[in-house]
Amino acid sequence: MASGEEKFIDMMRALAVDPAARALVDDAAVIAFGNETLIITHDMMVEGVHWLPGQDEADIAWKLVATNLSDLAAKGAEPVGVLLGYMLGPDDARFAQGLGDALSAFGVPLLGGDTVSAPAGGRSHGLTALGRATHRPVPARDGARPGEVLWVTGPVGAAMLGFEALRDGNAGIDTSAYRRPCPRLAEGIALAPLVGAMMDLSDGLLIDAQRMALASQVTLAIDSAAVPVPESLRNSRRREAMAWGDDYELLFTLPPNQRPPCLAYAIGRAEEFCGDSVLLDGAPPKGRLGYWHD
């Protein structure tokens, strides 16, 4: 059964008829602008969904920037600037500090935005990121072709472990993958001229692979043993790590004779569509594939 998010996106597709919207099946809008191609993306974060109540506001700001820049990375784009939509809260100074840290770390200017207040309750923030394409055609989700190898730039599951440690107050586990993810901007720029398809991992490896496969009209066959995960997950929770999300690595395909110009792991192959978009160890994966908003 379709989630509320799926149903709403389907309604929006009827309105997003401009080619720049890419039928809302991609990570960002792509707009030809003079001699440049502009990449625009917008993501939101909600308290209790994307961050824990009481979490350090500086980490929330960092993650808001990083998740939007990850969409630019999937397009091989160079960031140009960001616009912030901010709901005032209990520690605005810490948010400003984290925002400054992220903008400095990624070399991105703040160009403007809007600030609001609201009655007590769950808070949300939004960010629009602007980027300049470094290669044309701009990578998309729909470029995977049968025979290409499926790659990922890094492990999945570290954010899941970080979330659990932060939630449980376990100071002995590194939580940075969840609190302060790092968008793969340099990797995206290096990969852009080479890839068949490319996208970032935000909602889980399996569900994002499914989205790439559906857009490309192929089957993506994944070898679970080849998927990189943190050491503590290798023998027990590998399948869970592939569906948890918040990893912000890049998932991409390359021709079989092409090696990536950055650190990456071969985890499967694109095949002719067989009736299932994703195969895990030769069979359709059972259970939850990733995160959807209800």
Identify the structural domains of the chain with CATH numbers, from first to last: 4-133 (3.30.1330.10), 141-280 (3.90.650.10)
Predicted pLDDT of residue 292: 64
Q: Is 6 helix (H, G, I), strand (E, B) or coil?
A: helix
Whether pLDDT at 1 is above 70: no
pLDDT band at 160 (very low <50, low <70, confident <90, very high): very high
Whether pLDDT at 294 is above 70: no
Per-residue pLDDT, averaged over 239-265, amounts to 97
pLDDT band at 24 (very low <50, low <70, confident <90, very high): low
Cis peptide before 137 (omega within 30 of 0): yes
By residue count, the chain amounts to: 294
Predicted pLDDT of residue 112: 97
Strands 278-280 and 218-222: parallel
CA distance 187 to 2: 34
Residue with tokens 């043993």: 225
pLDDT band at 167 (very low <50, low <70, confident <90, very high): very high
Whether pLDDT at 2 is above 70: no
Predicted pLDDT of residue 234: 86
Least confident of 2-16, 158-172, 271-285: 2-16
Beta bridge partners of 85: 114, 126
Percentage of the chain exceeding pLDDT 90: 79
pLDDT band at 90 (very low <50, low <70, confident <90, very high): confident
* Whether the Cβ atoms of residue 219 and residue 278 lie closer than 8 Å to each other: yes
Per-residue pLDDT, averaged over 1-24, amounts to 76
